[in-house]
Amino acid sequence: MTNDVLRLTMHEAADLLREGKVSSVELTQATFERIRAVNEQVNAFITESEETALAQAARADKMIAGGNENPLTGVPAAIKDAIVTKGVRTTAGSRILEPFVPVYDANVMTLLNEAGFVMIGKTNMDEFAMGSSGENSAFGPTHNPWALDRVPGGSSAGSAAAVACGMAYWALGSDTGGSVRQPGALSGVVGLKPTYGRVSRYGLIAFGSSLDQIGTLTRSVRDAATVLQAIAGHDQRDSTSVPIEVPDYNATIGEGVKGLRVGVPREYFVEGMDSEVREAVEKAVAQLEGLGAEIDTDVSLPSTGHALSVYYIIAPSEASANLARYDGVKYGFSYREGGSMWADMEGTRQYGFGEEVKRRIMIGTYALSTGYYDAYYLKAQKVRTLIRREFDAAFEKHDVLVAPVTPTAAFKIGEKIDDPLQMYLNDVCTIPVNIAGLPGISVPCGFATADDGARLPIGLQVIAKPFDEATMLRVAHAYEQSTTWHEEFPPL
């Protein structure tokens, strides 16, 4: 089997399966051959599950032979290591969970297993999803397949890199401040973050509970729509899961953009934005206009500039509370040389958590402490409400908003790791969407050229009103199908 089959979209691979031109077992074997060939360079996986995957593939072949038409059935996929998987190690990229093997499945895993999908492994990530580059993992940084000396984006770094270079046909990630859309953009794949509450968070290891949302990384917008269709829906085990009907996204995805009102918020073209990124996004906007969309470049979301500050109060505060459960008593890494229970607990956290996680826990604990709660956390929640209201006002006049995903293309590994502020600024275009609980998607829209001549992907962000993923997908699909950026494949 040639490597060409590894460049297919999920739907293209599914068509081959149903036509009998390839079996799921053969696809899965080819995928693991690719992993053995390139993963040492990319470091996209923490845990590979070849034995389980081949058993799932054999089951999928029987399902397909019996007339199963689900495009997810039998197509190899990867899962971010923040999503718990029964019987398969789940680390969240942290030493503190290095030995943890869950005894239950996340809700999304239950749904995917019912669909007959094939899980090839758990992907590398910034520890507890705290990072924008894929460098904060306890298992080493993930490398961008387009330029191995550069980051693939984070925190869903391994998921994006695996899909980008043919180690998986699609993957799940999670997005708290841009952690699906940003690696989607920097790795040249489609990254979709659904509306908060659209997909159950049951079984997603928590970072910021009011911001976290499971999303998808795929090679086409249609693939993203199909995976979202499979994992969306109400779940009683998640109190934030919204009990509303999930539409058939693929039924409307091809309706085009003619007559749709598209707003371009000027605050997203931030100071210091790379000129090639700006130019690529502006050309994408012009492309949408050529396809019949009504473009409005005079859109303002004035509180956008405060979103970064709001996020880095709310998210660490929630992380401080969520990560208090890791004490080494019931599961995971446990330090036992402290001489007392309290010393052991301190040692567990000292040696189990990485530097970025410790930094955010301290920020969050400070923001929630007596005397500072009103000054920081409460004020941040009030500004969060303002940001949401500004989006609501914008969506009264526009069907979608479009913007850059990141201010620059992929930067070099190590370039920003010692400068947290510069690293945090990389999420400036994605964070407001999480703060407002909106859906957003990143679609490839061009390339920047690095000093050494490497081609670095750029992403266009499409943002929609709550639970209107259908319109967002229509716009993203129309743009994608009118260009060839999504057909590019890294030279690795």
Whether the predicted pLDDT of 463 surpasses 90 = yes
Q: Answer for the pair 263, 397: CB distance below 8 angstroms, yes or no.
A: yes
pLDDT digits (tens, 9 = 90+) for 60-96: 999 999 999 999 999 999 999 999 999 999 999 999 9
Lowest mean pLDDT, pick from 75-79, 196-200, 356-360: 356-360
Encode pLDDT of 292-305 as tens digits. 999 999 999 999 98
Asked if residue 167 has pLDDT above 80, the reply is yes
Minimum mean pLDDT range among 135-144, 213-222, 366-375: 366-375
Give residue 395's pLDDT band: very low, low, confident or very high (50, 70, 90): very high
- Return mean pLDDT, the chain: 95
100, burial (CB in 10 Å: exposed 0-12, middle 13-18, buried 19+): middle
What pLDDT is recorded for position 1?
Answer: 54
CATH architecture of 3-254: Alpha-Beta Complex (3.90)
Cβ(45)–Cβ(160) under 8 Å?
A: no
Share of the chain above pLDDT 90, in %: 89
How far, rounded to the nearest angstrom, does the alpha carbon of residue 304 sit from its chain's CA centroid? 21
Residues 6+ apart with CB under 8 A from 370: none
**Rounded to an integer, what distance in angstroms lies between the CA atom of residue 446 and that of residue 152?**
16
Structure tokens at 270: 């931030």
- Enumerate residues 6+ apart whose C-beta is below 8 A from 102: 84, 85, 86, 87, 88, 90, 203
Look up residue 157 and give its amino acid.
Answer: A
Asked whether residue 214 carries a pLDDT value surpassing 80, the answer given is: yes
pLDDT, tens only, 243-263: 999 999 999 999 999 999 999
Nearest partner of 25 among 56, 68, 49, judged by Cα: 56
Residue ranges per structural domain of the chain: 3-254, 305-380
**Confidence (pLDDT) at 341:** 87
How is residue 289 written in tokens?
Answer: 């206009």
**Of 71-75, 414-418, 431-435, 484-488, minimum mean pLDDT range:** 414-418
Place of tokens 């060839």: 484
Q: Quick one: pLDDT at residue 330?
A: 86
Place 426 in a pLDDT band, splitting at 50, 70 and 90. Answer: confident
| Residue of 23, 24, 80, 193 with catalytic role | 80
E-strand ranges in 267-413 read 294-299, 400-404
Would the pLDDT of 374 be above 90?
no
- Please name the residue ranges forming H helices in 19-144: 24-42, 50-65, 107-115
Q: For residue 32, what pLDDT band results from cuts at 50, 70 and 90? A: very high
Does position 423 have pLDDT exceeding 90, yes or no? no
258 is catalytic: no
pLDDT of residue 371: 84
37-41, 59-63, 116-120, 272-276: range with lowest mean pLDDT: 272-276
State the CB neighbour count (10 A cutoff) for residue 286.
11
Let me know if 155 is a catalytic residue: yes
What percent of the chain has pLDDT above 70? 99
Looking at residue 2, what is its pLDDT?
56
Measured CA to CA, the distance from residue 464 to residue 468 in angstroms comes to 6
Average pLDDT over residues 1-19: 89
Summarised one tens digit per residue, pLDDT across range 398-409 is 999 999 999 999
Most confident of 212-216, 343-347, 449-453: 212-216
- Distance CA(67)–CA(300), nearest Å, equals 51
Out of 155, 174, 187, 241, the active site residue is 155
Q: pLDDT tens, 275-288?
A: 999 999 999 999 99
**What pLDDT, on the 0 to 100 scale, is given for residue 338?**
86
Examine the residue annotation and report whether 358 is marked as an active-site residue of this protein.
no
The DSSP element (H or E) to which 23 belongs, if any, is none
The answer to whether 176 and 435 have CB atoms below 8 angstroms apart is no
Task: Reply yes or no on whether the pLDDT at 3 is more than 70.
Answer: no
CA distances from 308 to 315, 318, 381, 462 (A): 10, 15, 13, 19
Please pick, among 133, 137, 174, 179, the residue that the annotation labels catalytic.
179
